[in-house]
Amino acid sequence: MFGPSNVRFCPMLLGAVFREVGTANLPMTTLSEAKRHYNNVDMKRQAELAGVPLVWNSNFPLKTTLPLRVVLLVGPDTPKGRALIRKIYDACWVQDQLGSDPAVIEKICNSVGLNGNELVKKAETKEAKEELFEATNKAL
């Protein structure tokens, strides 16, 4: 299972949180070169401490609405949900894949024993969109 059992995953749209608190959508772009460098070093250090690899995605910033909705549909703190989160992380932050690509998300879902085709379709429903909206508002 990905992540300690005492960690509760809460998928939400980080850009909406940044907007609500008055931060730039890409806070790194507002930092000095030295601070950006330090942040990159620190992120890699934190990833190493957590035992996960980190390779900056060449498509950054990533559009995450599809994977977030799919994770919410599965349940982020279920065993399959945590396995899905780890596989999505690996795809985006290790293998340089595009998490907004429905084919990528479908394949990842299938790899953890879920029906990827069904979940990708459900993620486009009004209900799934509202669930992510509500999760984001809860995070605020």
How far apart CA 65 and CA 13 sit, in angstroms, is: 7
How many other CB atoms are found less than 10 A from the CB of residue 112? 18
Residue whose entry in the numeric block shows the structure tokens 């992540």: 3
| Mean pLDDT along residues 114-130 | 98
- Residue 41 has which token pair? 């070093």
CA 7 to mean position of chain CA atoms: 15
Whether the pLDDT of residue 1 is over 70: the answer is no
Mean pLDDT of the chain: 92
How far apart CA 37 and CA 74 sit, in angstroms, is: 36
This prediction's pTM: 0.89
Predicted confidence at residue 29, as pLDDT, reads: 84
| Mean pLDDT along residues 4-14 | 85
Please, which pLDDT band fits residue 3 given cuts at 50, 70 and 90? low
pLDDT digits (tens, 9 = 90+) for 66-117: 999 999 999 999 999 999 999 999 999 999 999 999 999 999 999 999 999 9
How far apart CA 36 and CA 42 sit, in angstroms, is: 10
pLDDT digits (tens, 9 = 90+) for 43-72: 999 999 988 899 999 999 999 999 999 999
